[in-house]
Amino acid sequence: MTAGRYRRALAELVAEVSDGAIGAEEALAGERSLSALGLTSVARVRLVDAIEDTFGVEVGLGGDWSSLESVDALAVLVSRAAEPGDRTAADA
């Protein structure tokens, strides 16, 4: 699965963990960072937990905060964790 295929599911997780404060479409649009859209630290923790539970991966940030600021970046993170050998244009 390419990173692009995770985007919809991730956007829906963003909506879920923010109790609807951030819409899935808004998250998918990627015009503003998730912080700018109002994702709190606690909601971000819920998001990481939900990603780990949903995709069966361990999210390691390695200090790279930007990985948690957009659905696209999260999709790349999940893609690399789930399919370490898979590199496609969507990862670029």
Choose the binding region for other proteins from 23-31, 49-57, 70-78, 80-88 (rule: CB under 8 A): 49-57
According to DSSP, residue 69 is labeled S
The full length of the chain comes to: 92
The answer to whether 64 contacts other proteins (rule: CB under 8 A) is no
Query: Using an 8 Å Cβ cutoff, are 3 and 76 in contact?
Result: yes
Which residue in 29, 65, 86, 87 binds other proteins (CB under 8 A)?
A: 65
Residue 6 CA to residue 17 CA, distance in Å, equals: 16
Stretch 67-86 residues interacting with other proteins (CB under 8 A) = 68
Residue 20 CA to residue 59 CA, distance in Å, equals: 23
Which residue in 8, 29, 42, 88 binds other proteins (CB under 8 A)?
A: 42
**Cα 36-37-38 angle, rounded to 5 deg:** 90
The answer to whether 29 contacts other proteins (rule: CB under 8 A) is no
- Give the interface with other proteins as residue ranges (CB under 8 A): 16, 33, 35-36, 40-42, 44-46, 48-49, 52-53, 65, 68
